[in-house]
Amino acid sequence: MKGEGLNTNAVKEIGWLKLDNAAKLFPAIMSGELTSVFRITAFLKKPIKFTAIKEAVEITSRRFPYFSVSLGSGLFWYYLEYNHQLPRILTEEKIPCTAFAVKRKNEPLYRILVKGNRISVEFIHILTDGGGAFEYLKSLLFTYFRLNGNNIRSDEEIILPESPISEEEIEDGYKRFFRKRIPPPGKLTKAWHLPFSLDGKPRLKIIRSQITLDKLLEVAGSHNVSVTEYMVSVYLFTLQMIYLEEKEKVKKQKRGVLRIEVPVNLRKKFPSKTMRNFSLFVLPEIDLRLGVYSFDEILKIVTYQLQTGADVKQITRFLSQNVGHEKSPFVRLLPLFIKCIAISAVYKRLGSNQCSGILTNLGRVKLPEEMEDLIDAFEVVPTPPNTHVKISCAMVTFRNQLRLDFGNISRSTSFEMHFLKYLTESGIPVKILTNN
């Protein structure tokens, strides 16, 4: 039945959905600060008309009924229960990615934020990842522009409000492409973390920047690497600079492994149209116990590690390991509260300790030309980082500009300043933006 159309009522009549493999992590680790919420924003060329965006949200959300759910809990697992609620339309607040009241019955798990010429969507990772959220936002923008009288041609890049819902949209892609008896990936050592003190609550602050794309492409091209490979290399080089600065102050440094978590959209690796979570991570690293690295050395290492780590065969090892744990008869029979304790402990021991930083690249936004002419920019605010990592980054490209946002819960902005300074010294124009 894969790919066959389902009508909206048929999807809602299912009543509930299992959490996908990735989503099962988040209820166990979420808190008021570690919210697991991310934001995607479209900056339009004209101010938002509230009546039109309200109607557009109603139309669009009917096309994505599997997002109209709330979090429920049973004896053994959390699940998603259809609540038929529209997302809240709110005024954009100063602090992004605040927590959802996930334990409140019938509470929507995504929201729409409007201010001036900006439309933002905030999703909790229990529902979907950046790939799924972007499909929703593109459809919402299409509907909004059409309601405002703009003649937008239908395009295969957009999920149209009147298009049939595919069963594939609600599948758990991890389980579909799970393979038994695949050797697991190797164990990782603990990574070094930025030494900065945590800021006072509320901690999260965002530093927004805009980078000229053609110049970035020119510089990356001169090294024969992609934009992602180049930016991950700058990230590791920046971490190394801060590590060496810290080493001058504290002679006995611990753990010289610098490792970056780089999400990979698995929809580009496997033939799935799921709108739920379907991403995994590649983990490029350098080990400073072997010595200090030049930028060119880091580029070579990162390019190799990203290309080999994102290979389907390597990705399958992580995918099968994660799903394999879930399928274990012992794990399946554990009561939910024990599962949550175990998942939280594993996350603290492995997930938060194994990475020095996070860089998400949602890639280039492709839209019908008529829509692109009505939009100035897109931007992604990453989920608030944990107290070990402290800083996370997200980037997205639209036309000739790349927006790079840093989410920071520490008192220092040294990392961001080093990062952006290196880009400008490499001949790449960078503009630091303000929140208005």
The string of pLDDT tens digits covering residues 105-128 is: 888 999 999 999 999 999 999 999
In DSSP terms, 397 is beta-bridged to 364, 402
Query: Is residue 352 pLDDT above 90, yes or no?
Result: no
Residue range 320-331: mean pLDDT, rounded: 75
Q: Give the model's confidence band at 40: pLDDT under 50 very low, under 70 low, under 90 confident, else very high.
A: very high
Q: Give the model's confidence band at 76: pLDDT under 50 very low, under 70 low, under 90 confident, else very high.
A: confident
Determine the Cα–Cα distance for residues 384 and 298; give it in Å rounded to an integer.
27
pLDDT mean across residues, the chain? 90
Predicted local confidence at residue 196, as pLDDT = 95
Q: What is the DSSP letter of 191?
A: P
Predicted local confidence at residue 3, as pLDDT = 41
Q: Give the model's confidence band at 141: pLDDT under 50 very low, under 70 low, under 90 confident, else very high.
A: very high
Summarised one tens digit per residue, pLDDT across range 229-271 is: 999 999 999 999 999 998 777 666 666 899 999 999 999 999 9
Percent of the chain with pLDDT over 90: 70
Q: Which residue has the tokens 């998603």?
A: 80
Report the predicted TM-score, pTM, of the whole model to 2 decimal places: 0.93
Residue 81 CB-density burial (10 A; 0-12 exposed, 13-18 middle, 19+ buried): middle
Residue range 307-311: mean pLDDT, rounded: 93
Reduced to 3 states, what is the DSSP secondary structure of residue 235? Answer: helix
Determine the Cα–Cα distance for residues 135 and 40; give it in Å rounded to an integer.
11
Predicted local confidence at residue 435, as pLDDT = 60
Across 100-104, 209-213, 386-390, least confident range: 100-104
- Of residues 404 and 339, more confidence is placed in 404
Q: Which residue has the tokens 């690295």?
A: 293
Summarised one tens digit per residue, pLDDT across range 191-202 is: 999 999 999 988
Query: Is residue 1 pLDDT above 50, yes or no?
Result: no
Across 163-177, 324-338, 371-385, least confident range: 324-338
User: How many other C-beta atoms are found inside a 10 Å radius of the C-beta of residue 75?
Assistant: 7
Q: What would the two tokens of residue 370 be?
A: 């008529």
Domains with residue ranges and CATH for the chain: 5-176 (3.30.559.10), 205-433 (3.30.559.10)
Determine the Cα–Cα distance for residues 352 and 84; give it in Å rounded to an integer.
35
Predicted local confidence at residue 338, as pLDDT = 80
Query: Is residue 408 pLDDT above 50, yes or no?
Result: yes
Predicted local confidence at residue 233, as pLDDT = 98
